[in-house]
Amino acid sequence: MVASGFWLLASGFWPSACKYRQGGQVAVFKGFSIWGIRVRIDQSWFIAFLLFAWIISTAYLPLQVPDYSRFTYWVFGTLSSLALFGCVLLHELGHCVIARRLGIPVRQITLFIFGGVSEMAQTQSSSPKAEFQTTIAGPVTSIGLAAIFWTVAVLATGFLDRIIVEMFHYLAYVNFSLAAFNLIPGFPLDGGRVLRSYLWHRSGHLGQATRTASRVGGIFAMILMGLGFLSILTVSLIPGVWLILIGLMLKNAADSEYRSFELQSGLHDMKLREVMAPPIAVDTSMTLSQFVNDYVFHYHYRSFPVVELDRFIGMIDVRAIKGVPPQDWPFTKIGGYLSDPATYCVLNPEMEAMDALQTLLSRNCNKAPVVRNERLLGILSRSDLFKLISLKRDIAA
Ligand SMILES: [Zn+2]
């Protein structure tokens, strides 16, 4: 009974987050679109769907409305689980519809095992008010749905079959707990964004507001994990594991949201040419011994841009010369050991610094030459960018 009540509550524990322009892709089963908003369903969603169908069919419904056949429980359990995800989707659509109305372009909605994410195609909310309105729209939608399902359940009592009425009751509870859970003030949950918009409005400092809201988010995630451990010890295993997983996911999300916020604000409005480092290049006429002794051992880099008569012609990686016997190094030119162009990225100095970083991350490059009209102008590495952000922070503090 306790576990069943817990599950009723836990099925509303669906983190819903709004993301502002994030990189990274998840494996996607397929997508469709509602009101012009793309909806993607991650493969992991099916695990959650089956898990909830199973819990509702075998534990929740048999306790609430006994004496039905196993088949009937499964039919209504599956329908309830589908409806639950429909409600999560409507919650996300609530965010997106208001965002669009406020002129914030919406990229897509993703449903996955731990809830829903609305992605906006813009780095930040334009104002505290816009952030508040976009965020609160989700929980308001869920509370509205809870009220509708509850009214239907009340009106249908004694009129429709008991199990159908129970399904409406369940959906009313679930939507209510969905709103309540997401309103907990831990960033990046809706409540955390509401908190951030309030702090932002009060202090005028988005960075400070984000830092405080993320910290509260991290604390809340730890509390959730603590409750999960308690539940494993006292109530039952699966709800506890579920709480711990959601806590871990939230902790991770709070940290990565803050890091990406710092990055975005640190690189905001900067061109790549303003942040790239001066290039250290090798010439094709150089021998392998000169390359190793004067460059690799001296600068401690693994790869270098290669130039010929001042023209950029490629990159060389120290791993490429592994097969050459060291006694041949003084007589072998590096020109024959250039890397395959598909393995590195070349950047344009006029691109935005943030886009350059996205390119490095998405193509899995650690560093890249910056080239214009075949001339090597600089070099950009991920670690340099992160160092730059922390330098900017030190100067600002
Ligand atoms: Zn939400």
* pLDDT score of 140: 95
Say how many Å lie between the CA of residue 193 and the centre of ligand 1.
9
* pLDDT score of 386: 78
Both tokens assigned to 262: 């710092």
Residue 94 domain flag: yes
Residue 67 domain flag: yes
Which residue, 350, 389, 343, is CA-closest to 366? 343
* pLDDT score of 107: 80
Answer yes or no: do 23 and 143 share one domain. Answer: yes
- Rounded CA-CA distance 13/21 in Å is 24
* pLDDT score of 24: 42
* pLDDT score of 2: 39
pLDDT digits (tens, 9 = 90+) for 354-391: 788 878 877 778 889 999 998 999 999 888 887 887 78
Answer yes or no: do 37 and 150 share one domain. Answer: yes
Residue 382 domain flag: yes
The widest CA-to-CA distance across the chain, in whole angstroms, is: 94
Answer yes or no: do 282 and 374 share one domain. Answer: yes
Say how many Å lie between the CA of residue 14 and the centre of ligand 1.
9
Domain boundary among 155, 171, 188: 188
Percent of the chain with pLDDT over 70: 91
Answer yes or no: do 391 and 297 share one domain. Answer: yes
Say how many Å lie between the CA of residue 316 and the centre of ligand 1.
48
Residue 247 domain flag: no
Domain boundary among 142, 162, 188: 188
- Residue 5 above 50 pLDDT? no
Say how many Å lie between the CA of residue 268 and the centre of ligand 1.
26
* pLDDT score of 282: 92
Say how many Å lie between the CA of residue 223 and the centre of ligand 1.
20
Say how many Å lie between the CA of residue 391 and the centre of ligand 1.
34
pLDDT bin (cut points 50, 70, 90) of residue 1 is: very low
Domain boundary among 123, 154, 188: 188
Residue 255 domain flag: no
Answer yes or no: do 277 and 132 share one domain. Answer: no
Say how many Å lie between the CA of residue 181 and the centre of ligand 1.
10
Q: The domain that contains 342 carries what CATH number?
A: 3.10.580.10
Torsion region of 271: left, alpha or beta (phi above 0 gives left; psi -120 to 50 gives alpha)? beta
Burial of 117 (0-12, 13-18, 19+ CB in 10 A): buried
- Rounded CA-CA distance 315/307 in Å is 9
Q: Between these two residues, 364 and 121, which has the higher pLDDT value?
A: 364
- Residue 273 above 60 pLDDT? yes
- Residue 23 above 50 pLDDT? no
Say how many Å lie between the CA of residue 110 and the centre of ligand 1.
12
Say how many Å lie between the CA of residue 17 and the centre of ligand 1.
5
* pLDDT score of 25: 44
Say how many Å lie between the CA of residue 191 and the centre of ligand 1.
8
* pLDDT score of 353: 82
Say how many Å lie between the CA of residue 91 and the centre of ligand 1.
6
Say how many Å lie between the CA of residue 242 and the centre of ligand 1.
19
- Rounded CA-CA distance 245/12 in Å is 15
* pLDDT score of 150: 94
Residue 238 domain flag: no
- Residue 21 above 60 pLDDT? no
Say how many Å lie between the CA of residue 250 and the centre of ligand 1.
13
pLDDT bin (cut points 50, 70, 90) of residue 154 is: very high
Query: Range of 76's domain?
Result: 2-188
Residue 378 domain flag: yes
pLDDT digits (tens, 9 = 90+) for 275-284: 888 889 999 8
* pLDDT score of 38: 85
Say how many Å lie between the CA of residue 118 and the centre of ligand 1.
8
Say how many Å lie between the CA of residue 231 and the centre of ligand 1.
26
Q: What is the mean pLDDT of the chain?
A: 83
Residue 284 domain flag: yes
Answer yes or no: do 37 and 163 share one domain. Answer: yes
Answer yes or no: do 115 and 8 share one domain. Answer: yes
Domain count, the chain: 2
pLDDT digits (tens, 9 = 90+) for 98-116: 988 888 888 888 888 777 7
Say how many Å lie between the CA of residue 372 and the centre of ligand 1.
44
* pLDDT score of 397: 56
Say how many Å lie between the CA of residue 92 and the centre of ligand 1.
6
Average of per-residue pLDDT across 188-201: 88
